[in-house]
Amino acid sequence: MSEAPDPREALASIQSTREGMTERMTHPVGYDLVCAAICGLMVASQGLQKPWSLVALLAAMAALGGCVHWWKSRFGWWVNGYAPKRAGRVAYGMAVMLVVLIGVTMWGRGAGILWMPLATGSAAFVLSILGGRLWMHVWKRELAEADG
């Protein structure tokens, strides 16, 4: 590319740079599994009595913080999941569903349904894996289609 690119050349450069970035943006399935396990345990632990449910919630939040730290040091970039327009909707949708699952678990604890944490925790595990992969897919498309 020349030192003073023409507009179309410059726009193409932006596009190809972003494509170069997204090609690097792959992550191991193990990361999804670990994050999903943390989310599953966070939801399921709300079936425990207080203060253990609160302790487990805080531990899960700290573990998710550890995942963020690992990601940043491994890949050298970070993006707030809620910030992009379309991918952000996926993140908010996931957050709402996890909160609902936590609510159902707590209701199950009150109602004395012993298997409820297992069911909601498993649902949170699956939701986190699918949601994480969906988020990445939507975000990459969003980047590819962005013009600025």
Partner 1 sequence: MTPPPVFDPVIHAPGRLQICAILSSVDEAEFALIRDTIKVSDSVLSKHLKQLEDAGYITLTKTPVDGRSRTWASLTPAGKKAFAAHVAELNRLAALTQAPVLGKGFSG
Residues forming the site for partner 1 (CB under 8 A): 1-8, 10-11, 13-14, 17-18, 20-21, 24, 72-73, 75-80, 83, 143, 146-148
In degrees, to the nearest 5, what angle opens at C-alpha 128 toward C-alphas 122 and 132? Answer: 160
- Residue 75 CB, shortest distance to partner 1, in Å, is 7
- Residue 99 CB, shortest distance to partner 1, in Å, is 24
Chain centre to alpha carbon of residue 125:
12
Helix axes 29-44, 116-145, angle to 10 degrees: 140
- Residue 92 CB, shortest distance to partner 1, in Å, is 17
Q: Residue 12's closest CA among 22, 20, 77?
A: 20
